[in-house]
Amino acid sequence: MPEPALPPRSRWVSVLAWLTIGLSVACIPFLLLGLAALPMMADAVMFSGISVALGALAAFVVVQLVMGIGLVQRKNWARMLLLISAIALAVWQAIDLAAPSDLGQLLPEALQSDPAMVAALSTATMMARVLGVLIIVACGWVLYRFTRPDMRAEFGAA
């Protein structure tokens, strides 16, 4: 008795999976550089914040790498992890759009009154808002695509 035919594999799922793997691997050098620089910052005020950021980056790299490998293999748990990641990213961006941080507070006081710096910060803030909206739209599109019946069938979750 012949085995049932598997649904065709979507090319864009493969591209998304390999992009996920590539981006997570590309983050590894930054993680290693941060870990190497950590002992030099032992007395710095920002030490605890940097160590938390490095821990978050390490968790992100591991989760994304595992998810990308699972997507290449069309595992349903990887599809679910992608859905959870897309929801979390969309919520994070929505919160950032609703309550944006003031980048000007990070600058020295002398630069906060500089008209050129104020204009640059205004442009950067607007670009961040547009990017946030684009990220939310992209997350919605991924959620739509990965919950369709043909995609669920491709991952064996019909």
For residue 158, give Cα distances in angstroms to 121, 136, 142, 151.
48, 27, 18, 9
Coil, helix or strand at residue 120: helix
Find out whether 90 and 139 touch, Cβ atoms under 8 Å.
yes
pLDDT confidence bin for 126, thresholds 50/70/90: confident
**Residues across the chain:** 158
pLDDT at res. 107: 67
Find out whether 127 and 47 touch, Cβ atoms under 8 Å.
no
* Tens-digit pLDDT profile for residues 133-158: 999 999 999 999 999 998 898 888 76
Q: Give the residue among 69, 63, 82 at the shortest CA–CA distance from 152.
A: 82
Helix then strand then coil, in percent of the chain rounded to 5, is 80, 0, 20
* Tens-digit pLDDT profile for residues 8-65: 788 889 999 999 999 999 989 988 888 887 777 666 655 567 777 788 888 989 999 9
